[in-house]
Chains A and B, each alone.
Chain A
């Protein structure tokens, strides 16, 4: 198959867009913590860019998508040979007219942002080096296999498909990562919040966001990058990419409105943090569904995502776990809603490779498959992360000391401070 320059150009652009989401997430999360830990929060995201990229070109891409793999549970276990595949086209359940290396780079960006999402659950209290080790282990044992289950449609030669992922082969629909990315990260976040425990002073002291403008900047970058994430998942510049693009926009918009609507009714004020959170909740929810539903359905899915997630972020107070920046309330809950919504609003009239959901005469068959995927990914991610997290905590230690936490992880883990306010300079000189 010849390379399509149009498809390839769009995929290169999409890949860069998805990378931008991780620095965007660093701003989104960084603004939500206190001044004494904003740098550590941003560094947890940036570190995943470093760690996962290296893993990816050594063995990561093979373990998720390797064509030599025969298992439904993982790809090929081998050192990758990407340097000799410059002229190979991508094959994921059939050939796409884009270079394999572009497909590999695009998928890398998904592998980067997924562990970065988890970091929001353990703000203010994680040691940095153990975090990077966690990212390496978690990517290897959780992200790469789960990405294979969901995203790997196998190597198709003629009519023979080999090595398709378990959920992909079952016909589970997850266009851009509702399960493999968001439910995966959300369930892992819940597990790590349990492993590390609550921050000192949680629910007693004020832990309000130190910079809402940074949160808004991050939300904007995430939203912008998400067009690559969702529309890029079409793996081409075509009608499905256009559908995914439009659905991404309207779902985020509707969720923004949904979240601040709840706030206005419940608390009396529509907040900037609510608008930013709502937009992200809508983006999460539409991620799996963006290529399978009509734009009007994307509006419904998005609006309900805003409503559901704005209520779900209160769960941590009910169940008493310090998921600091609501990875569970936004990514796990939003991901579950989005993944199940395909079983309701999916329509084969919109996308010929899609299936009809409950509201389009498809019965509950698709909804059942989606529920299976939700349960499998959430269950595996939660328990595997619990084990990995406890192993790190019991060996090298994952949580900082009490003194370090009170003084601030920025200073104690990175020997830096984010801000020098005029009038409160600490003086000093270069040594």
Chain B
């Protein structure tokens, strides 16, 4: 099993969610995130005083998938989230040792 983690622009969340549902994933987890990459931060001005805002708001989307689906899921996310401009985010996969469904106690692929 793999955990696919994506850091994305917040306004692309709906499109990514719809694309993943259409692909057939069983569930996703979304959380708010902030950080910087090549896009870096931006400047805000309050009563003439300039503040550098380093960390930009992003969403983190996490999907648990079977090994054979992981490349396809990454492709779905990248396609849906891309705007072509700097700051689109990143997607990565990590191996997962085990998964347990809390309600039933099912393990592994059964629990995804």
Chain A interface residues toward B at CB < 8 A: 206, 208-209, 263, 266-267, 269, 271, 273-274, 277, 310, 313-314, 317, 326, 423
Contact = CB atoms under 8 A, between A and B. Distances in A.
A263 B51 contact: no
Nearest to A273: B46
Contacts of B48: 263, 266-267, 310, 313-314
Given A267-B45, A273-B46, A310-B47, 9 more contacts: A206-B53, A208-B44, A208-B46, A208-B51, A263-B48, A267-B48, A277-B47, A314-B48, A326-B47
18 contacts: A206-B51, A206-B52, A206-B53, A208-B51, A209-B46, A263-B45, A266-B48, A267-B48, A269-B45, A273-B47, A274-B47, A277-B47, A310-B47, A310-B48, A313-B47, A313-B48, A317-B49, A326-B47
B32 interface: yes
A423 B32 contact: yes
A313 B48 CA distance: 8
Q: Interface on chain B toward A: helix, strand, loop, or mixed SS?
A: strand
Interface of B: 31-32, 44-53
A326 B48 CA distance: 12
A340 to B, nearest CB: 23
B31 to A, nearest CB: 8
Contacts of A317: 49
Contacts of B32: 423
A278 to B, nearest CB: 10
Contacts of A266: 48
A313 B51 CA distance: 16
A169 to B, nearest CB: 39
A314 B53 CA distance: 20
A269 B50 CA distance: 12
A277 B45 CA distance: 14
A421 B46 CA distance: 24
A317 B47 CA distance: 12
Nearest to A274: B47
